[in-house]
Chains A and B, each alone.
Chain A
């Protein structure tokens, strides 16, 4: 199908599984984190904000290197996992999932942070006065009013995870069905001078990424307009 071989389909499956899990995990982590960041100003908050944004500026190899050291069999996390009877995370799907979550975190946190800051305190104060508790306020006021921020955050997270390469190569290597994602496979195809195969996958990713970003910006535009009204 589409001239793709079983190797390609395997990589597509690994890639989309990685993107989906990363997005779901970040939904749980980034929402409270962004809420906390938007809730006030302090040096601790600024430090956390900078930490979250680090993957934006660091070479992926730096993050990949430290993750390899930490999650590997002799690393702090890896050895602890071994001690309690689990396996270390280097060269495994779980390992690159951890890496993806860290690497894509700014793409989830920043749009949410922005959306929560724009929302301000007033709607929440209003809802409190009307008898809504914290969960109620989040579900009936915050969520509907920051919907655009959520859509942007999670589409960008998904799309950005799709484009990961360096971190995965450093930490996961290129194990078919486990850590070999599309970007890595394209690299392999190219190294093997298999340009046709590389081209098919590259074009597919290009089109998919463009469509994703198009949708994001379209939503973003509507979101802005709606807020002004």
Chain B
């Protein structure tokens, strides 16, 4: 991977000049409620939902399921007759009452090309900032520029930017309005895999530290697993269910598993780099070892795509003390009755089997509980279950072939 891709730790923390409204404050209890019915040719959107205004909420579903339509109703981009939209105790739309988008103070990031082509990077960034009342400004140009690593781009014209740079500028521009809500409409889907990996750390840093609730449209399970705190599952214009990410990952029929199979997401704090050059992750008893660059472990080669050269700041034994996520595919997890010692797989965890259930044809999904109570899924064959005599309550060893640090 190229050395230009910033690793998570290279991003300075955002330090809003006023305390962020996250946490037990007013907004945490507030909700964004939307009730709308929208009929289009061959498509009906019918939703009635209340979303907590905290953390990251993902609207997840296949293309055409109504995610973007719902986002546009929330933003007020489409004024759908009869819709009811409330933001905390503020009514954005009800009956004839309608607060236009420019007075809602929402940060909006679109899928692609949304920079104003007649303005340079600096003027794009400042377009919203200049229109934000000074008293409402919590973030300023320098912080946002540092956080997104776009200092060198400031004086450029926007047609000299790569796709990833454009999206970072778009994000920065939205942040500089000090929004009360960030709406992201598939902000990564127009980017290639490499560029996605370049932007993801910024998004997760943003989600963790900007103190702004985020509603994000996505059809990519990996983005949801990496960023979301809760997931709104949508299908055919309706909301199937709203779950926390943990709930969504705890059921074997989760729509998040449709592409790559079952996945576990472990949260933990990255620790120090050990003598063997690997970085610890998670607490004692549920500790994993990642390659120090920040991303991979396993049989030496596994997950190499993530093996970035860590910037100086990160190698200095003080990794960011912020919960990070690991994404582990269930098919990369094997189970053993004993702790194997002579094996190339580095990560062995003692786990307790919670549940064994049929998954896909010929595969069984074993839900295991780690020492720190997080869940880890393993995909094995029915034959292995019989042969090893696996049963709920049993203590076994989970061998993890590769994991990806999600930042």
Q: Which residues of A contact B (CB under 8 A)?
A: 122-123, 125-133, 136-137, 140-141, 144-145, 227, 229
Contacts and interface: CB of A to CB of B under 8 A. Distances in A.
B101 interface: yes
Nearest to A130: B128
Given A122-B113, A136-B131, A129 B118 contact: no
A164 B105 CA distance: 51
Contacts of B103: 131
Contact of B101 (A123, A125, A145): A125
Contact of B116 (A131, A136, A141, A227): A141
Given A122-B114, A136-B131, A144-B118, A128 B159 contact: no
B106 A129 contact: yes
A122 B116 CA distance: 9
A92 B159 CA distance: 53
B116 A127 contact: yes
Contacts of A141: 116, 118
B121 to A, nearest CB: 15
Interface residues of B, number: 24
Contacts of A126: 108, 110, 114, 116
Nearest to A229: B159
A128 B116 contact: no
Contacts, number: 61
A130 B118 contact: no
25 contacts: A123-B116, A123-B117, A125-B110, A126-B114, A127-B102, A127-B127, A128-B100, A128-B101, A129-B101, A129-B107, A129-B128, A129-B177, A130-B127, A130-B128, A130-B177, A131-B103, A131-B105, A131-B132, A132-B127, A132-B131, A140-B127, A141-B118, A145-B116, A145-B117, A145-B118
Interface in B69-116: 75, 77, 100-103, 105-108, 110, 113-114, 116
B226 to A, nearest CB: 24
Given A129-B75, A145-B118, A122 B110 contact: yes
A229 B127 CA distance: 21
B159 A131 contact: no
The 6 A-B residue pairs whose C-beta atoms are closest, nearest first, are A130-B128, A131-B131, A129-B108, A128-B101, A144-B118, A128-B102
A51 B311 CA distance: 66
Contacts of A140: 127
Nearest to B101: A128
Interface of B: 75, 77, 100-103, 105-108, 110, 113-114, 116-118, 127-128, 131-132, 159, 173-174, 177
A169 to B, nearest CB: 44
A118 to B, nearest CB: 12
Contact of A131 (B75, B118, B177): B177
A122 B174 CA distance: 15
B326 to A, nearest CB: 34
Contact of A125 (B77, B132, B159, B173): B77
A140 B110 CA distance: 20
Contacts of A131: 102-103, 105, 128, 131-132, 177
A136 B177 CA distance: 16
Given A130-B127, A130-B128, A130-B131, A125 B108 contact: yes
Nearest to A145: B118
A127 B173 CA distance: 11
A10 to B, nearest CB: 44
Given A123-B117, A130-B173, A141-B116, 4 more contacts: A129-B101, A132-B127, A144-B118, A145-B117
Nearest to A121: B77
A24 B258 CA distance: 61
Contacts of A144: 118
Contacts of B102: 127-133, 137
Contacts of A137: 102
Most B CB atoms within 10 A — which of A127, A128, A141?
A: A128
Contacts of A227: 117
Contact of A129 (B113, B117, B159, B174): B174
A125 B111 CA distance: 13
